[in-house]
Structure 1
């Protein structure tokens, strides 16, 4: 088997509208399509980053909480590459999103920081 690339990341939101606004209005994703699936009482939105399909955003009634601490087993975090981390952190701050202090990766010497989405999913900004 030869994998080509990551096709998409699926995220379940407790409040679909709030998370859609966060990913689109704050982080800059584009909503490609969305559908309400009545049988599941669920929304599904397809989000793109720079024209590339990236995230499936779902809602389900009463989804269980998931451990999302940085050392919880499973998906640790989702990282986004940025050119200027200071500008990115300032943009998030203007939208009321708090970031951890910027750190330096000891192996690459690149700057990075963490923040969370509306449901506490850990997200990272990594300066290229």
Structure 2
């Protein structure tokens, strides 16, 4: 049986390639990504596990633009190491003047995230889930060891 072992890459189309390239370059440098490869009509970044590419939309796509709620892409979430990383990302976004649509907060039980928009209004997310549960389990293990 065929098994997916991961998502290799995501490619998005943007209305203003240079503007989006500058936005994503700053964002990805902050997130620890490096440029993977660059062509006249595409650029991709990677952190060794995730690859994210952008390229210019065609004339029809540029004229129509993106709207949250359309069929297709809803948002892309970057899993971060900790809630502190989520807070640090939000501080970076604020310094850069990026539009934050939902500030860093707990949106589900033990799910902490910040949601923001790229220059075309594509929704992105920095998130961490399970941190409180992992800390509680580590404390239980430590307590068990100390009782021995």
Alignment of 1:58 onto 2:62 = no
Larger radius of gyration: 2
For residues 80-112 of structure 1, the C-alpha deviation after alignment (integer angstroms, 9 at most, x for no partner) is 122222111001111111312333133x32211
CA root-mean-square deviation: 2.0
How far apart, in 2, do the equivalents of 1:86 and 1:124 lie? 12
The answer (yes or no) to whether the contact 1:26–1:95 under 8 Å persists in 2 is: no
Alpha carbons of structure 1 residues 124 and 68: separation in structure 2 relative to 1, 3 Å: farther
The answer (yes or no) to whether the contact 1:14–1:63 under 8 Å persists in 2 is: no
State the TM-score, normalizing by the size of structure 1. 0.79
Q: CA deviation at 1:63?
A: 4.5
Structure 2: stretches of 5+ with no match in the other structure: 130-148
Q: CA deviation at 1:61?
A: 4.0
Aligned to 2:38: 34
The answer (yes or no) to whether the contact 1:46–1:53 under 8 Å persists in 2 is: no
The answer (yes or no) to whether the contact 2:66–2:122 under 8 Å persists in 1 is: no
Q: CA deviation at 1:8?
A: 0.5
State the TM-score, normalizing by the size of structure 2. 0.70
Higher relative contact order (CA 8 A, sep 6+): 1
Instruction: Please identify, of 23-32 and 11-20, the stretch whose mean Cα deviation from structure 2 is larger.
Output: 23-32
The answer (yes or no) to whether the contact 2:103–2:114 under 8 Å persists in 1 is: yes
Alignment of 1:1-128 (within 5 A): 1-28=2-29, 29-36=33-40, 43-48=41-46, 50-64=47-61, 65-69=64-68, 71-82=69-80, 83=82, 84=84, 85-99=86-100, 100-106=102-108, 108-128=109-129
The answer (yes or no) to whether the contact 1:46–1:55 under 8 Å persists in 2 is: yes
